[in-house]
Amino acid sequence: MDSALGATIAKNEGYELIALHFNYGQRTEVKELDCFRKISKNLGAIESYEIDLDFFKQIGASALTDNALEIPTTGVEEGVPITYVPFRNGIFISIATAIAEKHGAEALFIGVVEEDSSGYPDCRDEYITSMEKSINLGTKEETKLDIKMPLVHMQKSEIVTKSIALNVPLKDTWSCYKNEDKACGVCDSCRLRLNGFDIAGVEDPIAYL
């Protein structure tokens, strides 16, 4: 949902979209890929990339990529949860930078949310800003990339409201960490999503699928 809104904002700001999706061995990999294809088509992306990063399963250390670890379902806890994938966004941004440099892109849009997230360290404004400096130091002199994070200080309810206002196809987004057929409603990501819809006073279109 966050990435779909971020991409929609990019389009509304006049950018041509190059859509990028990662299959990294997450439990809901097939469902997320299907959503990506629908959303990128809906937004009229001029090109799209689907990158496979199987090594995340080899690294493990996250309940999203290691089936031996249980997805927490008792509520959002303090600190960094077991669903954190080590340095995932840093790796994603690095690959996105390579693609952006190839195409001569001006900006990278990322749907990170700091204030209403699950406590992931790689979703912080400070971290993403530092990555922007690093990628511009490590690319060609003519490469000048801005990393834009339009959602970073929004609450989930604000993301829901903004998505509806911009006609983001929320029925084609997926947040559940556990299931690909019916959202579980109890993992951290489902809880944050459902709470956002509840505060916004709107029914989640995937809540009962």
Q: Residues forming the annotated binding site?
A: 176, 184, 187, 190
**What are 96's two structure tokens?**
């996105």
d(CA 57, CA 66): 6
**What are 115's two structure tokens?**
């204030």
Contacts for 1 with CB less than 8 Å, ≥ 6 apart:
159, 160, 163, 168, 170, 173, 175, 193
CA torsion, ordered 192, 197, 198, 199, to nearest 10 deg? 90
d(CA 124, CA 144): 22
Whose structure tokens read 């080590």? 86
d(CA 194, CA 204): 7
Closest listed residue to residue 181, CA positions, set 21, 23, 27:
27
d(CA 110, CA 7): 8
Altogether, the residues listed in the chain come to a count of 209
Task: List binding-site positions for Zn(2+).
Answer: 176, 184, 187, 190
